[in-house]
Amino acid sequence: MRAILDVIMIALDLYIWVLIASAIFSWLYAFNVVNPRNQVVSVIGNALFQLTEPVLRPIRNLLPNMGGLDLSPIVVLLLIFLIQRLIIYYVYPYAF
């Protein structure tokens, strides 16, 4: 049971880094730091979009419109932190 919980915790940690990378990439793209016509940049952006959009889209639909400010990654990060704490404090000590 602990091995499964460890895999879940690692997956959640990796997804946190994917969300951070996606936010940084979106800023670089928005401020024209990276060239969107570059094939490598396009592949990285598309991969990050496909990894994060299925989770972020439902939360964007629930949040009110904040203009150009997207708070959905922050909400997802908070939910991931909550899930991790629940696992650490309530599930992991009782897993045999």
- Tens digit of pLDDT per residue, the chain (96 long)? 899 999 999 999 999 999 999 999 999 999 999 998 999 999 999 999 999 999 999 999 999 988 888 999 999 999 999 999 999 999 988 876
Structure tokens given for 86:
């629940």
Q: What is the pTM of this model?
A: 0.90
Parse the chain into domains and list their residue ranges.
Answer: 2-94
**Token pair recorded at residue 50:** 């496909």
By residue count, the chain amounts to 96
